[in-house]
Chain A
């Protein structure tokens, strides 16, 4: 495919976007990747797995009270980018992250930044529901416990209850809080994972294909939930389903082979993509 000088790439306009220098061979991001009041700011983020260059010079802002969807073909680096935001890539020995990512103005890759603190602020929900092999209660109570958020048992009970309520799971599990979380259905498990994540009141929630293992009904419930959670959190969701991106997100970022090709308001991306690759992808020409 064409590189940065592809004829489909139109000149980019917008505040703050034009000032970044780009090296050769890297596609410029089409659209405005900045927002007025960002929670997280990523600039020129590169990730290498050993010799493999997984994502290249990705710059993107994450806004408060907004869902941003990351779409793109498999292996284009969506998960890799997402895992940079809570430094989960640190656990992969070969992974090397460069560039700058800041949360509320503080560089999260700074030496003084504690990952524990960061991950308490940036929660994550995974593709495959992965509740701890413990009781429903313990699953939700775990985060508040390790971070010392509850002074006593009553407060912890309260946190567990409100988290489960906000995750829309309370009615279904209130009578079996002491049963294993792994015994719930797939959709319930995923909502349990969401409850577990919001129990520590993070600022940002990362979701890596949270519905890809779920049936349509469970998916619809999670989508409703995401929409509700937007009132309080910044949410980044990776999804393979363009319908889902269209339904839940306000902004969409399209990744392609490690490049962030285009960012923009979801309705514009889906109705009027500016980059040829984005258009090809959303019209189903490849992906």
Chain B
């Protein structure tokens, strides 16, 4: 069989010509592919670099938050110093002057310090929170009165910063914020083994405070948790129900088109607008308490709903029609078809939408400022109506504070926020895999 000659001058056959042309194009194609891959790798590398930078900077300024400097004091619960009457009641114990005990204990260690200013400086080495710790101990165990005990109490935030090296010893005294004398005392205490860094329980168990060494992130963690519980409990079921109705049952007409357009628009509305809405509706109209996780959760629900609805609808659209036909053909009703077959198949996609929505809600602060969740709140919220704040707002509050120690706390709170996020996402991923494993 002879091949047709395509061009008489070269004597090339059609097959040869095709091969030649393909080969010529091949090199260019490979080059383009390599270039495309290089772009992709470059983009990912840049992304990773910045994530790396972000984590390094947060970790390097925040990891010291795990420890806190403590001073060991020999406290004598002397009734005279406390100014207690003969047979003190619990109320008397509550009102007594515990700061005096702290003062006595420090002076015991540095008996030669003289003069009001020097003494004030000396007393300032210990956190002003120490007296409350003593009070709580005495009230919990009144038999301590008249006895001695050795205790570790938190040092002042400036001491802590110096010990952690965040305040430079080489700096001139007036710029340092810690006097030469105080540095000498700190060194003396350290040499005695009476000053050391221990695990910072306070930060992880208490609420906010004006004193950095007493400020904790737990209040904000609980606030965030309660707020997100409200958000999740409302936005996920409502969002999924809305998506299922719109996707599976609603007639396709102008009204549903209009609703669809509006849901898409809502997803793009700046979050602060939802805060304004929440202020007007939930607080002013319904009279719900300000600064409460309940209201915060409601506002974040409004913000999260469009995201969840859009993701859920996409997930429902992705369920192959053959599954629906199979179920309908078996005589399942429409509701049964959706509940038994379509929803389980769409669930992983819906959970992904929920993760995205909740992650955004966790990091949101602007709408919560509008409903008063920015207040300075010391107590750990105990319920959905208690005043509270949330992690991103706490970060913002601390970042705004002048004390150097709050800078460390800001990074610490960001670390906690990231940890919270990781935990939340891990839970969702595990849940999603459970659903996927059920085919």
Contacts and interface: CB of A to CB of B under 8 A. Distances in A.
A88 B328 contact: yes
24 contacts: A93-B252, A116-B333, A117-B331, A118-B331, A119-B328, A119-B329, A119-B330, A120-B331, A123-B329, A123-B330, A126-B322, A130-B320, A130-B323, A130-B325, A133-B345, A134-B438, A143-B331, A146-B330, A146-B331, A146-B340, A182-B439, A193-B326, A197-B329, A200-B331
Interface in B311-355: 320, 322-333, 336, 340-341, 344-345
A124 interface: yes
Q: Is the interface of B mostly helix, strand, loop or mixed?
A: helix
Nearest to A183: B439
A93 B332 CA distance: 18
Given A133-B439, A146-B336, A180-B439, A116 B325 contact: no
A86 interface: yes
Contacts of A88: 325, 328-329
B433 to A, nearest CB: 15
A133 B330 contact: no
Contacts of A115: 331
Given A118-B331, A132-B326, 11 more contacts: A88-B325, A130-B320, A130-B322, A130-B323, A130-B325, A132-B323, A133-B323, A133-B344, A146-B332, A197-B329, A200-B331
Interface of A: 86, 88, 91, 93, 115-120, 123-124, 126, 128, 130-134, 142-143, 146-147, 180, 182, 193, 196-197, 200
Contacts of A182: 439
Contacts of B251: 93
B329 A142 contact: no
Contact of A128 (B322, B331, B333): B322
A57 to B, nearest CB: 26
Given A180-B439, A182-B439, A142 B330 contact: yes
Contact of B328 (A91, A147, A196): A91
Contacts of A193: 326
B104 to A, nearest CB: 75
Contacts, number: 66
Contacts of A197: 329-330
B333 to A, nearest CB: 5
A132 B325 contact: no
Interface residues of B, number: 22
Interface string B369-412: 00000000000000000000000000000000000000000000
A228 B320 CA distance: 32
A243 to B, nearest CB: 27
Contacts of A126: 322, 325-326, 329
Interface string B423-439: 00000000000000011
A193 B344 CA distance: 20
Contacts of A123: 329-330
A86 B328 CA distance: 10
A116 B329 contact: no
A116 B326 contact: no
A143 B326 contact: no
A128 B320 CA distance: 12
**Which 4 pairs across A and B sit closest by C-beta, in order of nearness?**
A119-B331, A133-B439, A130-B322, A124-B329
Interface string B249-289: 00110000000000000000000000000000000000000
Nearest to A147: B331
A184 to B, nearest CB: 12
B331 A116 contact: yes
Contacts of B330: 119, 123, 142-143, 146, 196-197, 200
Contact of B327 (A117, A132, A147, A180): A132
Contacts of A86: 329
A146 B332 CA distance: 7
Contacts of B345: 133
A182 B323 CA distance: 12
A215 to B, nearest CB: 20
A264 B233 CA distance: 62
B207 to A, nearest CB: 48
A110 to B, nearest CB: 17
B127 to A, nearest CB: 60
A131 B320 CA distance: 12
A134 B439 contact: yes
Contacts of B340: 142, 146
Central interface residue in B331, B341, B438, by most chain A CB within 10 Å: B331
A120 B282 CA distance: 50
Nearest to A143: B330
B336 to A, nearest CB: 6
A88 to B, nearest CB: 6
Contact of A132 (B252, B331, B333, B341): B341
Contacts of B322: 126, 128, 130
B379 to A, nearest CB: 50
A130 B251 CA distance: 27
Nearest to B345: A133
Contacts of B327: 132, 142
Central interface residue in B326, B329, B438, by most chain A CB within 10 Å: B329
Interface in B52-103: none
B326 A130 contact: yes
Nearest to A133: B439
B254 to A, nearest CB: 15
A247 B283 CA distance: 76
B269 to A, nearest CB: 32
A118 B333 CA distance: 11
Contacts of A128: 322
Nearest to A93: B252
Contacts of B438: 133-134
A133 B319 CA distance: 11
Nearest to B326: A130
A132 B439 CA distance: 9
A123 B328 CA distance: 10
A131 B331 contact: no
